[in-house]
Amino acid sequence: MSSPSFRPLMLATLVDEPVEGDDWIFERKLDGIRLLIVRDHDTLHLYTRNEVDHTERYPELHDALIHQRCDRYVVDGEVVAFDGARTSFARLQGRSGLSDPEQIVATGIAVKLYLFDMVHLDGEDRDELALRDRKALLRDAFDFDDPLRFCSHRNADGPAFLEQACRDGWEGLIAKRARSRYRSGRSRDWLKLKCTARQEFVIGGFTDPTGSRSRFGALLLGYRRDDALVYAGRVGTGFDQHTLEELGDELERRERPDSPFDDAPDDDVHWVRPDLVCEVGFTEWTNDGKLRHPRYLGLREDKSAEDVVREEPEASP
């Protein structure tokens, strides 16, 4: 017997081409925040991948999970908010930092929790079971009424499914080896197949606003390479007024006199302590290693700045 407890999440590797074959299953790539749910009888926690407790932020998820008939488990999933038929990380940002129930209700933003893996159940670790068996355990152990949803999958036709996903405006797919065990850390048993380019970046500075814009103009972005913060360009779109005010406060609290980058231009820039991580969508990387047409999507509180690297797709298996 073992006790349910937090463990580092299993992470997918970005690849350049979809995979095929009976050894793979294909799930929708959700545009939200990964959560590991740990319940031990009457104690229940929702942890981000960097082990930050977000239980108070999602009271509706806590209530749904604490009333399940099984009361000792560790399950892996993702919390999302919808914008029409699509999951939207930008919309989920409207719930960021809120724990007061009245403020949460006032946002009008409903969330859903998609569960896709069972890591522990009833005092036994299940990580050595094959993925198909873990998903079967998960489906049988829970009652999937809103806001809980089972993350379904397809067993074949990955390339065609990816084409459909991109036509429908999804972020992409996750391909998983059907016989794989649950292993903490990044793995080639789970693969990311993206429809659009997007990833996390560290914020290292900001420019003054122009025109009617308030608080700041653009953010200077970077990623880690060895011990250096490499400059990746600026993002100046994707901010509403609420974001400008709240993020402006965070930036001002972090101002510092010198640049955290090894190679960024220093004309009219306010430098900041590089510990804020944001997600950015963009069309492509330029030949000189900068982002083309970037758009700010939101802060990522679930990832440490030290872990942000440039995502380079690997060759598919």
Is 135 among the residues known to form the active site?
Answer: no
In the chain, domain spans: 10-194, 197-307
**DSSP summary character for residue 53:** B
Model confidence over 238-256: pLDDT tens digits? 999 999 999 999 999 999 9
Residue 288 buriedness (CB in 10 A; 0-12 / 13-18 / 19+): exposed
Q: Is domain 197-307 classified as CATH 3.20.20.70?
A: no
Report the alpha-carbon distance of residue 56 to residue 62 in Å, rounded: 8
Q: Kindly name the residue from 29, 135, 176, 194 that is annotated as catalytic.
A: 29
The reply to whether the predicted model has a pTM over 0.85 is yes
Model confidence over 144-195: pLDDT tens digits? 999 999 999 999 999 999 999 999 989 999 999 999 999 999 999 999 999 9
Model confidence over 56-87: pLDDT tens digits? 999 999 999 999 999 999 999 999 999 998 99
Region 38-62: what's the mean pLDDT?
Answer: 97
Q: Which run of H or E residues covers position 249?
A: helix 241-253
Q: Is domain 10-194 classified as CATH 3.40.50.2300?
A: no
Return the pLDDT at 316.
Answer: 84
- Encoded tokens for 205: 């500075």
SS3 277: strand
